[in-house]
Amino acid sequence: MPRFKAAFFSDDFDCYKGNAEHVIDYVFRPTHRERIAAHAEMYPEIISAANFDSHAEALSQIDFVFATWGMPCLSEEQIGELTQLKAVLYAAGATRQFREPYLKRGVRVITGARANAIPVAEFCHAIIILSMKGFFRNAREAVDADSLNQVHGFRGSGSYGGIVSVIGGGAVSGALRESLKTVRLDVRLYEPGFNSVDRAQLAEHFSEAMVVSNHLPNIPQTRGVIDESLFRCMPEGATFINTGRGAQVNHADLIRVFKDRSDLTAILDVQQPEPPPSDSALYQLDNVIMTSHLAGASNDEVARITDYVLDDFERFIRGHALEYEVDMMML
């Protein structure tokens, strides 16, 4: 019989549940539930912020919380009622929105961020290769026989020695830089200091790179930091990729510059707001391509996130070192 007790926590999150009835079912597939059941008895109801108080007495006995996108942000008083809780296992990415009160109580937090970083890095890698070939500009300018002529069609510098800037550290940045080692590119990293952004260094990256891929941390200091001055200094034919956060880009500035400079390309997988209002000029610009938050894990890729988290769950049960833990030092 299982020695531990566990519960699913979720306020649901429609964006990510696909055809599943609930996001928990989308992320925790039958094979994942079997792995959990080998060690822990699952509470019969999914716990949300709305129903927590009515289940609080029983929840005081649980050892593990399993969660994903839509993790409830409970009050410190409610978290304090989880007196037996040993770990939160979060089968998604960033934990910034909920982790601190758990960590302060000695509850361990495990995240699937490194697994979620893989498809984002793959997405960016593919766009970078196409951008270095000049694919996006070439495709939108290839409208007649003359522009399809090999002599006249735009070509990028190619993927041999060209400069790519990855701005921001973190799991996606690391996975992307690792994957780009297979290509002969000059990959440069800009990583901001603690709660600070060096605009002069950012400008240097934007002015030299043929592709800039944004992975800045989602903190107040980065909101709107990618602005007109940075877009204006980008080289002829350069590409800007945003799979980070839409709030880090001043979209009014982006629209202004990209209207003036048809040579530039922007790939925006995230926007602010998301989606932009229907009258936004972003929809009208040929050199701005928007996708619907596509880069992160979806469908079959989601299973990898849960696998990573359950690997650490099983390490925890066996008393082994964890690989995907978030600790107080990371705060």
99 shares its domain with 162: no
Q: What is the pLDDT of residues 231-243, one digit of tens each?
A: 999 999 999 999 9
The pLDDT of residue 3: 87
Return contacts of 269-276, CB within 8 angstroms, 24+ apart.
269/123, 269/241, 269/242, 269/243, 269/293, 269/294, 269/295, 270/242, 270/243, 270/244, 270/245, 270/246, 271/246, 272/245, 272/246, 272/247, 273/246, 274/246, 276/251
70 shares its domain with 132: no
187 shares its domain with 168: yes
CATH number at residue 61: 3.40.50.720
237 shares its domain with 322: no
Segments forming the whole domain that contains residue 57: 4-115+298-330
The pLDDT of residue 161: 94
184 shares its domain with 273: yes
106 shares its domain with 136: no
Q: For the chain, what is the domain count? A: 2
Q: What is the pLDDT of residues 114-148, one digit of tens each?
A: 999 999 999 999 999 999 999 999 999 888 888 78
Question: Does residue 16 have a pLDDT over 80?
Answer: no
**Full-model pTM:** 0.89
181 shares its domain with 267: yes
